[in-house]
Amino acid sequence: MAADVDLTMERRRVSAMAGFAAVAVSLSGILVAVGLAPWFAWRTDALSNLGVATGPERLVFNGTLLLTGVLGLAFLPALRTTMRATAHRVAQLPLVVGVVAIAGVGLFPAGHPYHFPLAATGYLGFIAAPVAYGVGDFYVGARRRAAATVASGLLHLGVWVAWATLLDDALPGLAAPEFVGALLFNAWVAYTAVRVYRTGTRGRNDARAQ
């Protein structure tokens, strides 16, 4: 029995580690691709421009999105272990859709007919998932976490609204709001992965002590 519990905890921890890896790959991959592209300008370019370049940044950027998608799906089992409310479970849908869509952006770079719908779907998923999950936190009594989680999703939405209504002339490129949005979503993933990993470690130690 203890061995079965230990195996379950180990799988939970591995899934949580996939969440850590998704965050690390996503953010570092983008920054590495930017570093490999001397022509890239945060003010006027979109991150997707990296995916159609002629240099090594193209492979790095598109590969980053694909790998992030795979790792993001591997994080889902860990996230499921934290779900205690219907809204938590609802959050799975935009999360999966968003992760798959972002991987699709790596498969279908800028200029492909599928690119814009996939990119828009990805960002909408990354806004909706934390908001829905935060509502679930509210219903289970985790009020502070709920407020922070919902706020991160709404702030992500606010970044796009501000760019579209106020900053478009001064900041015509999409790269800055795209990266800020990625930071906000990845912060939520990283925090949740920490929660799951710590719970899995405590659970494993408790099982061994029995």
| pLDDT tens, residue by residue, 47-61 | 999 999 999 999 999
pLDDT score recorded for residue 1: 45
CB burial of residue 142 (10 Å; 0-12, 13-18, 19+): middle
CB atoms near residue 84 (< 10 Å): 14
Please count the residues of the chain: 210
Q: Is the pLDDT of residue 102 over 90?
A: yes
pLDDT score recorded for residue 200: 58
Q: Say how far apart CA 98 and CA 129 lie, in whole Å.
A: 9
Specify the DSSP class assigned to residue 51.
G
pLDDT score recorded for residue 136: 97
Q: What is the pLDDT of residues 3-21, one digit of tens each?
A: 434 548 888 899 999 999 9
> Rounded to 5, what percent of the chain is helix, strand, coil?
80, 0, 20
> What pTM was estimated for this model as a whole?
0.89
More confident residue, 149 or 199: 149
Q: Say how far apart CA 133 and CA 95 lie, in whole Å.
A: 10
